[in-house]
Amino acid sequence: MKLSDLKIIVTGGAGGMGRHFALRLAEAGAQVAIGDVNEAGLAETVALATGPGKVHAKTLNVADEAEVGAFVAWANGAMGGLNGLINNAGILRDGLLVRKDRETGAVKKLTKDQWDAVIGVNLTGATLMVRDVVATMVETGQKPGVIVNMSSVARHGNRGQSNYAAAKSALAANTVTWCREFAPFGIRVGAVAPGMVETPMTQGMNQKARDALVAAIPVARIGLPEDLWLAVKFVLECDYFNGRTIDVDGGLTM
């Protein structure tokens, strides 16, 4: 698809990669609807937008089914249609599933709240977005359509990220599932799996762990949102790309 033909939702659009994707799309002439729980960040993204396209913004908690349905209906109306989704919203609640405290010897476990929060946003929320966006496209007869799921190289497994790895591996697997299910509707589904990328989420990591990860990247630097945009842009534009995940990780093996 041509970027200028897109009427596309970007979740997690208040900052980081989501903001970068939204701004790039607007520069290319697309209509973009961004959602996030951070209302101030959404306003900043809208203020930064330039180009022939337009960025529309509304608060959104993707883990809330009612909010997802209302947001998708709003986006469809605001943009005069809907033919794309970048499933970007995500959170981290890292922790070892079971660990032993070095000082007290006490055994500690990953809490169910940590598990539920990440699964709720990164998997359930992403799935709800896909479901309601595709349902809207089918109901309105809009095609072709395209969905980009933001997975992660952590989908292969990563220490301290049982919840995150579970969510991101499921997204990669369902990218294949959904490409097959939605083919009759003229909708493609692809995924992009970032490695270590400079975003507010990764800036909040433990510094020692962050430094160790960056040191392990063969290209010798952390990724930038623009690096990921190049992959997302490919998925959006290449009509023969479907049901696959692109790793953009600088060669990092986790």
d(CA 234, CA 241): 8
* H or E element at residue 232: helix 225-237
pLDDT over 90, % of the chain: 89
Least confident of 108-117, 169-178, 213-222: 213-222
The active-site residue out of 23, 85, 86, 164 is 164
Backbone angles phi, psi at 240, to 5 degrees: -100, 0
d(CA 10, CA 113): 26
Is 253 among the domain residues? no
On average, the pLDDT of the chain sits at 95
Is 44 among the domain residues? yes
Is 118 among the domain residues? yes
Give CA angle at 171 (165, 43), nearest 5°: 95
Give me the number of domains the chain comprises: 1
d(CA 88, CA 16): 10
For the chain, what is the largest distance between any 2 Cα atoms, rounded to a whole number of angstroms? 61
Looking at residue 79, which CATH number applies to its domain?
Answer: 3.40.50.720
Domain that holds residue 166: 3-248
Q: Is 240 a catalytic residue?
A: no
d(CA 142, CA 134): 10
**Residues across the chain:** 254
pLDDT digits (tens, 9 = 90+) for 217-230: 999 899 999 999 99
d(CA 215, CA 182): 40
